[in-house]
Every structure is written in structure tokens, then in C-alpha cells.
Amino acid sequence: MRGFQNIAMTKIAFFLMMLVCFTACKNDKDDRLEENILEIEQYIIDNDLNDLGIVQKTESGLHYIVQKEGDGMFPTSESVVKVRYRGFLTDNSIFDQNPNFETPLSNVIEGWKEGIPKFSRGGSGLLLIPSKLGYGSRGAGSTIPGYAVLIFEIELLDF
């Protein structure tokens, strides 16, 4: 009977340890998302982005502004999109730009997968992407640090 109690106690201790670890990991990710959202909201204020149009926010933390409406035809997650873009960080340093980028939406970061379909063909605006929808803790190359908020000026040329 004593052996059974030891096994039961070991299982309970393991379960509690996993629960604490899961909660701590979840809170760390939630805290970083909250920090990113605060950074995005401060960027919006500091750069008067409310003057460009209505700032929309999704449940995932993506913020976007449609500055110019397109033709009313929207891409889907299966679309191959052609986009003119400029990507930069909240310090306004540019990390990438392309006047004629073409790619399947399935091959891009989560922030683009969610954000690009908010624009119709010929439309333009901004995507403000928290790190969990971008490159996360790893960053990208030497120009995008870990946990960086990404900002994209985009124009959806075609799909």
C-alpha cells in the first residue's frame, strides 16, 4: 500500500510541477504580447497614426490601418499576392523593402497571413505586428531583434 501512495504522490507532484511551468511559460508569452501591444499603441500616438485612418485591432494583437480602399476583392489564405512594402521597427529603422514582392500567403509570417487579407486589391495601409506574429524571440538576421514589433507600409498590388 505504501508503494502505491508513493507513486500517487510522485504523479501529483509531477502534475503540479508541470502546471506551474505551463502557467509561468504562458504568463511570459502573455506579458511579452502585452508589452508589444503597449509599444504599438505608443507608436500610434507618437507618430499620429490615428490621422491616417481608423486603427483596427484583432484578437491576436495585430493592429492595422486601411488608408486607401481597393477594388473590394480580398485575397484568401491560399492566394499568391503581389505587394509593394516597406518594413521597419518602432525606432523607424527600415529593415526591408520591395516594390514588387510576390509570394503565396502561406509562405509569410503570421502577421502578414492575418493582415494582408484585410486589404483589397489596390488598397494600402499599415500593419503593426506584435512579435508573436512576426519573428518571435529569435528575430531575423542582424536587422530584426528578438521580440521586435514589425511595422509594414503595404500596398496590395494584385493576387
Out of 14-18, 47-51, 94-98, the most confident range is: 94-98
- pLDDT tens for 20-39 read 344 334 444 556 999 999 99
Which among 67, 65, 63, 64 is positioned nearest to 36, based on CA atoms? 63
For residue 123, pLDDT over 70 is answered with yes
**What's the pLDDT band for 18 if we cut at 50, 70, 90?**
very low
Provide the 3-class DSSP secondary structure of residue 56: strand
DSSP run (H or E) holding 17? helix 2-46
- Across the range 113-137, mean pLDDT stands at 98
Task: Name the CATH code of domain 2-158 (choices 1.10.3210.10, 3.10.50.40, 4.10.780.10, 3.40.190.10).
Answer: 3.10.50.40
pLDDT at 17: 43
Q: Above pLDDT 90, what percent of the chain?
A: 78
pLDDT at 138: 94
Are 137 and 131 in contact by the 8 Å Cβ rule? The answer is: yes
Which of 23-37, 42-56, 131-145 is least confident?
23-37
Query: Residue 75, Cβ neighbours under 10 Å: how many?
Result: 20
DSSP classification of residue 68: E
pLDDT at 135: 97
Domain edges within the chain: 2-158
- Across the range 65-80, mean pLDDT stands at 97
DSSP track, 103-148? EEGGGS-HHHHHHGGGS-TT-EEEEEE-GGGTTGGG-BTTTB-TT-
Are 97 and 85 in contact by the 8 Å Cβ rule? The answer is: yes
- Across the range 71-92, mean pLDDT stands at 97
Tell me the backbone φ, ψ of residue 49, rounded to 5 degrees: -70, -20
